[in-house]
Amino acid sequence: MVQWAVELSQFDIEYRPQTAIKAQALADFIAEFTTLENTSDQEDLWMINTDRSSTQKGGRAGIVISSPKQDVLKYGVQLKFPITNNEAEYEALLIRLRIAQALGAENIVLKSNSQLVIGQVRGEFEAKETRMQKYLKLTNQLVSAFHHTEFVQIPRDRDAEADEVARSALTDNRDKMNNWRLEEQNSSSIKELQTFSVHTSPRWTSPILSFLQEGRLPPNPKEAKKIQKRAAKYTILNDELYKRGYSQPYLRCIEEEEARYVLEEVHRGIYRDHIGAKSLVRKIMRTGYFWPTMQQDAANFMKKCNSCQRYRNVQRVLGEKMMTISSPWPFAQWRIDIMGPLPQEKRQMKFLLVAIDYFTRWVEAEALATITEAKIQNFVWKNIVYRFGIPRTIISNNDRQFDN
């Protein structure tokens, strides 16, 4: 072999041993299979571009869809509710996913110029705000219905066609709308996710129904006694549990899911009463429904109603009684009095002259050996008038030292 290698080297010929045929065949098979799969996905790929904008009164979105057969579909959507830029981007993303699902697309590429939304959907950024978390949750639910989904961030200048559709979505120019469809959306997509909790135990009617129908009781004696006592207030009509009442008709007992619907419909349904918690409970009972924690659930539901919190009557009475102010402004009204005689001190001081302001409770005091009219006058001028101005009122006990 070495001799052959030396002889052939002058002709630039190299000797290589034969490779394994089985390994090469397996490699060729894998390469061929991968190429065919990628080609199939590429043929069924839908390209979707979008652009959006938002204002205080609402927003708009422009969507351009390219099918695998190069057919172009344009959608303009008017968002008839207050929305931010990021929320408008999410709304446009959800609209694209719904349209692609309705068209039967399985492999889609969604292009957007929003770095935040694309990063959150990819999992690169974290959604910290509550509304962004709800939008992301709804987006992931729709994405799970597709076979392949790719999110691509593109520069804003590459969204020219989608931007034109978005800008024309709020205009009345029918010439621009001949080749695309205009739709309206009156509420947020995450409104359905803004749920509230009804604090009822799982199937609270099951123990009562078991006792009334079959006579079965829990093994715990205390629980059994409690069920027997509660069951006296209920009856079964047409295989459904009803609560008895002395001054009202029978109330049909409902579970958690139906309780949510009843609260929603009675409070802000077709009549939109938006009444308080107690009135809401009474109206539900007049309608003919009952569950054990309806009072607490109605109060919690009303706290999460935007209209009730914004426009309801607020109790403005103070928790404590208001105290009248005896003086209208600082140092306008003084109280003056003499204390003594006290134990004699230096310079034979045994009286104390005290003046207190009614507004600030400021105290002026001076020790005196004698309490004459001249001493009182000198104190008032030096300690009150010179410092705080002429007062409106000076109150005393009408001693002869103050009557001058």
- Domain co-membership, 241 together with 145: no
Residue 82 has pLDDT above 50, yes or no: yes
Residue 139, domain member (yes or no): yes
Token pair in block for residue 170: 């709020």
- Domain co-membership, 157 together with 60: yes
- Domain co-membership, 166 together with 221: no
Residue 89, domain member (yes or no): yes
| Three-state SS at 24 | helix
pLDDT in tens, 141-164: 888 888 888 888 877 666 555 556
Average predicted confidence (pLDDT) for the chain: 76
- Domain co-membership, 226 together with 135: no
Residue 94 has pLDDT above 80, yes or no: yes
Count the domains in the chain. Answer: 3
- Alpha helix positions (H), 221-365: 221-231, 256-268, 277-287, 294-303, 306-311
To the question of pTM greater than 0.75 for the whole model, the response is no
Instruction: Tell me which residue has tokens 């830029």.
Output: 85
Domain boundary among 277, 311, 345: 311
Count of beta carbons in the 10 Å neighbourhood of residue 110: 21
Residue 200 has pLDDT above 50, yes or no: no
Choose the weakest-confidence range: 42-51, 124-133, 326-335: 42-51
Choose the weakest-confidence range: 228-232, 243-247, 298-302: 243-247
Instruction: Tell me which residue has tokens 């300690």.
Output: 383
- Domain co-membership, 152 together with 287: no
- Domain co-membership, 177 together with 295: no
Token pair in block for residue 56: 């205080």
Higher pLDDT, 326 or 89: 89
Residue 232 has pLDDT above 80, yes or no: yes
Sign of CA dihedral 389, 391, 397, 401: positive
Residue 165, domain member (yes or no): yes
pLDDT in tens, 326-362: 777 888 888 898 888 888 877 888 888 899 998 888 9
Task: Give pLDDT, residue 92.
Answer: 81
Mean pLDDT for 288-310 is: 83
Sign of CA dihedral 30, 32, 36, 38: positive
Mean pLDDT for 189-206 is: 60
Higher pLDDT, 30 or 357: 357
- Please give the Cα distance from 243 to 246 (Å, whole number): 10
User: Over pLDDT 90: what percentage of the chain?
Assistant: 2
Domain boundary among 141, 172, 193: 193
- Please give the Cα distance from 339 to 325 (Å, whole number): 26
Token pair in block for residue 294: 């309806």
Residue 99 has pLDDT above 60, yes or no: yes
- Please give the Cα distance from 267 to 274 (Å, whole number): 5
Residue 117 has pLDDT above 50, yes or no: yes
- pLDDT category at 220 given cuts 50, 70, 90 is confident
- Please give the Cα distance from 118 to 127 (Å, whole number): 11
Sign of CA dihedral 240, 246, 248, 253: negative
- Domain co-membership, 363 together with 289: no
- Domain co-membership, 187 together with 53: yes
Task: Give pLDDT, residue 356.
Answer: 92
Task: Give pLDDT, residue 355.
Answer: 92
Residue 285 has pLDDT above 80, yes or no: yes
Cis, peptide link before residue 292, omega less than 30° from 0: no
Residue 12, domain member (yes or no): no
End-to-end, the C-alpha distance of the chain in Å comes to 142
Task: Give pLDDT, residue 354.
Answer: 92
Mean pLDDT for 240-264 is: 83
- Domain co-membership, 110 together with 249: no
Residue 173 has pLDDT above 70, yes or no: no
- Domain co-membership, 48 together with 151: yes
Count of beta carbons in the 10 Å neighbourhood of residue 31: 10
**Domain CATH for 117:** 3.30.420.10
- pLDDT category at 39 given cuts 50, 70, 90 is very low
Q: Which domain holds residue 361?
A: 333-395
**Domain CATH for 307:** 1.10.340.70
Residue 349, domain member (yes or no): yes
- Domain co-membership, 113 together with 251: no
DSSP letter (8 states) at residue 248: S
Instruction: Tell me which residue has tokens 């207030």.
Output: 233
Task: Give pLDDT, residue 195.
Answer: 45
Residue 179 has pLDDT above 70, yes or no: no
DSSP letter (8 states) at residue 366: E
Residue 321, domain member (yes or no): no
- Domain co-membership, 150 together with 291: no
Residue 358, domain member (yes or no): yes
- Please give the Cα distance from 38 to 43 (Å, whole number): 9
Contact 397, 374 (CB under 8 A): no
Contact 146, 106 (CB under 8 A): yes
Choose the weakest-confidence range: 226-240, 245-259, 317-331: 317-331
Residue 274, domain member (yes or no): yes
